[in-house]
Chain A
């Protein structure tokens, strides 16, 4: 797997460029987290990347081949933010939808498709939800189902739009843990929008940090996700606290109070 984004531009209105001259390369098993304030263009970026929106100029190459979008690309799958479903599909129905790219025009999911769908549920630890209606699931369970659906197409690259948004601590940690495992076991690469720099720190190899006016930086997580950059791009005062002294191998972000 090799994804290249070259000189990519996008704007909704003339006066306000959203994405300007985006360039980066992502390879096998690498995890990229996209960060930035609300309304900065993270979701727009994913939409352009998947082909839902079209780049104004520039292009995306997948394994060396220029692509328009991921609709006919079996190797890339998209995970939306968990949203309520209009119809009470079961988890298995939902995950089978992920097999659509592998099916012919008039086909229904075959036995093999259903087997793969079940395996994906299993791998994410939600096999027991197989026959549960999506309308009767918690946000965390539903998000897992969406990830399983993307996984069912057997992708090399997952694109995720804030999968841990609206979830509690435990479920956030669970999603991050499962994604980490997927990258390790299946060598899947991931591009993930997130609002949580700690999750980004925990899971990602690379960071894409968006600022206003089309400004951005791309780089290795430990070099990019620094106090300086967070303070600059999020316009807040934060400190990164290393918990090594407490015997815990992790770092955490602490927001400084306004009235100091």
Chain B
């Protein structure tokens, strides 16, 4: 027997999924280069059937807008899902997916790659991914130096590592060539979907899909871990082990997202809170809901980012401009909001 609340939550998720498809389809024909919806369908069908076509419209839809849409979905769902899981295991609603320093680590990796130029073996994406993983590894190792293995020491060492890498980013910016390298570093750090390709979709897609699947499988454990370590232990799970699995999965997701799009803030923190308020606090429902609504939010915001002016607005700026007021409206409206 399902309660009314659960039925409501499930219908919100289903409506969200339908909206992802509808808005996603719209994003294929909306834009500076105008294409009719009929044309888009034709292009997609022809591509799937393997009929070759060499029009400008085909190129725009298939090589530019479709990978961009897929990236929106992957990154939106990934960041929102890992944000929800992190908020659960750290028992705090203000936690974002990069609490353990992954964004700044990845940012530093990317900046370093841009500074050093073409000679870097892994390229910008590779270096960014590596930087993200190393920073979280550092955070985890430092937190282990304290014996009690608490979430607080993890968060504290995350802050330390994040600000350390943030300083390193500033250092790279300081020595970077102000005409060529510095602008590209600055733009990278603001985040963008403009350079989306199928190669990048694959690069981010594999870790994000695997990571999200693991988080979804572990979502009941997130509930139990959110009661604190001692209670989680008495309820029958090993807090340290389960938390580590969730941290690894969420880190893979976030590192992969940051790597292909640059730093996109807010979505990973705001979407879970919106879902918690309007869908369900139970992570069994919250995690899937965050995935769907995170993807939807990202598609819409990216549509605005590339549609609002001739020059594209970096997505990181828009998620904050759109996200911050929404967050305030939602979280401070109901019953005094954040407790």
Interface residues of A (CB under 8 A from B): 47, 50-52, 69-72, 74, 77-78, 80, 84-90, 92-93, 97-98, 100-101, 103, 106-109, 111, 114, 130-131, 133, 135-136, 149, 153
Contacts and interface: CB of A to CB of B under 8 A. Distances in A.
Nearest to A87: B281
22 contacts: A47-B230, A50-B233, A52-B233, A70-B234, A71-B238, A78-B234, A80-B231, A85-B227, A87-B93, A90-B281, A93-B284, A97-B224, A98-B235, A100-B220, A100-B236, A100-B237, A107-B220, A108-B219, A109-B284, A114-B1, A130-B3, A153-B236
Chain B interface residue number, banded: 20 to 34
Contacts of B220: 100, 103, 106-109
Contacts of A52: 230, 233-234
B153 interface: no
B226 A87 contact: yes
Interface string B49-60: 000000000000
A86 B92 contact: yes
B217 interface: yes
A69 B233 contact: yes
Contact of B276 (A88, A106, A130): A88
Contacts of A106: 217-218, 220
B233 A89 contact: no
Contacts of B92: 86
B5 A89 contact: no
Max chain B Cβ within 10 angstroms of own Cβ: one of A87, A108, A114:
A87
A44 B224 CA distance: 22
A107 B237 CA distance: 13
A101 B5 CA distance: 26
Given A86-B91, A86-B92, A93-B282, A101 B236 contact: yes
Contacts of A131: 3-5
A93 B223 contact: yes
A101 B235 contact: yes
Interface of B: 1, 3-5, 88, 91-93, 217-220, 223-224, 226-227, 230-231, 233-238, 276, 281-282, 284, 335, 339
A170 to B, nearest CB: 26
A103 B284 CA distance: 14
A84 B235 contact: no
Max chain A Cβ within 10 angstroms of own Cβ: one of B219, B223, B230:
B223
Contacts of B231: 78, 80
Contacts, number: 81
A50 B284 CA distance: 27
Contacts of A135: 339
B234 A72 contact: no
B299 to A, nearest CB: 27
A80 B235 CA distance: 11
A231 to B, nearest CB: 34
A71 B281 contact: no
Nearest to A69: B233
B230 A71 contact: no
A130 B339 CA distance: 22
A100 B238 CA distance: 12
B281 A88 contact: yes
A89 B284 CA distance: 11
Nearest to A133: B281
Nearest to B216: A106
Given A87-B276, A131-B3, A50 B234 contact: yes
Contacts of A70: 234
A8 to B, nearest CB: 18
A107 to B, nearest CB: 7
B3 to A, nearest CB: 6
A114 B1 CA distance: 9
B282 A100 contact: no
Nearest to B223: A97
Contacts of B230: 47, 52, 80
Contacts of B281: 87-90, 93, 133
B236 A51 contact: no
